[in-house]
Chain A
C-alpha cells in the first residue's frame, strides 16, 4: 500500500533552516507529482508547493516563494523541502502528499516549530 513518511521536523529559531524529507513506498514514485501541504496549529490547510514527476514543473505559494525549495530524488523514492529564513508563522505540521491536483495519499506529517 502507499506509504509516505515525513521526517526532519523540530524546533528551530527564527531565521533558521530545516530540511524535511518524505520517504515513499508502495507505488512507482517517479510516476507521480508530489506536494508539500501544511497546517498551522488549529488552522486550515495551505498547499505550499508541488513538483512534477521529472522535476520539470515546480510551483510555490507566495508565502514560501524564495525561502523554500522543493526537490525529489526518484532513485531514492524521496521528496524534500528545504526551508530557509524560517518565521514564526511557518510553525505548522508539514505533510507530503501524492498529488495530481487532488492529494490522494498523505503522510502522517512532521511538526515544525519556529520559536526563539
Chain B
C-alpha cells in the first residue's frame, strides 16, 4: 500500500497567516492526489483534486501543488472558518489511502 505522510501534524496560526501543509507519498503517484478539510462532527469536504485543481465552490485562498511524491496545500490568508483538520489522499493505486491529518489550530 502507498503510505501518505503529512507534516506537520498540527500547526498554530493566526487569521491572515499563510499556512502550508506537506504530504509525501511512499512512491510516485503522479498528480493523483486530493486534499480534504474536516471540521468536528462533519464529513470531510473536497478542496483540491488532481493535486492542483480547485473543487467548485472552494475559496481561491486554497491551492495545491506537487507531483510524484511531494505535495503541498497552501492557505494563502487563513480565515476563521479554516481552522480544521486537513487530509491528503492518493488515488493512484488501490487501496486509496489518506494521510494521518494535519490540525490547523488558532494561535
**Residues of chain A whose beta carbon lies under 8 Å from any beta carbon of chain B:** 44-47, 50, 59, 61-62, 95, 101-109
Interface footprint category on B = 20 to 34
22 example contacts (A-B, Cβ-Cβ < 8 A) are as follows: A44-B87, A44-B98, A45-B36, A45-B89, A46-B98, A47-B89, A47-B95, A47-B98, A50-B96, A62-B95, A95-B43, A101-B32, A101-B34, A101-B49, A102-B91, A103-B44, A103-B46, A104-B49, A106-B45, A107-B43, A108-B42, A108-B43
A62 and B1 alpha carbons, distance in the complex (Å): 10
A/B pair count, beta carbons within 8 Å: 49
CB atoms of B100 and A44 under 8 A apart = yes
Closest chain-B Cβ to A40's Cβ sits at a distance in Å of 12
On B, residues with C-beta under 8 Å from A are: 32, 34, 36, 42-46, 49-50, 55, 87, 89, 91, 94-101
Q: Would A45 and B46 count as touching, CB distance under 8 A?
A: no
Closest-by-CB residue of A relative to B42 is A108
Give the distance in Å from the alpha carbon of A45 to the alpha carbon of B101 in the complex.
Answer: 9
A44 to B38, CA, bound (A): 10
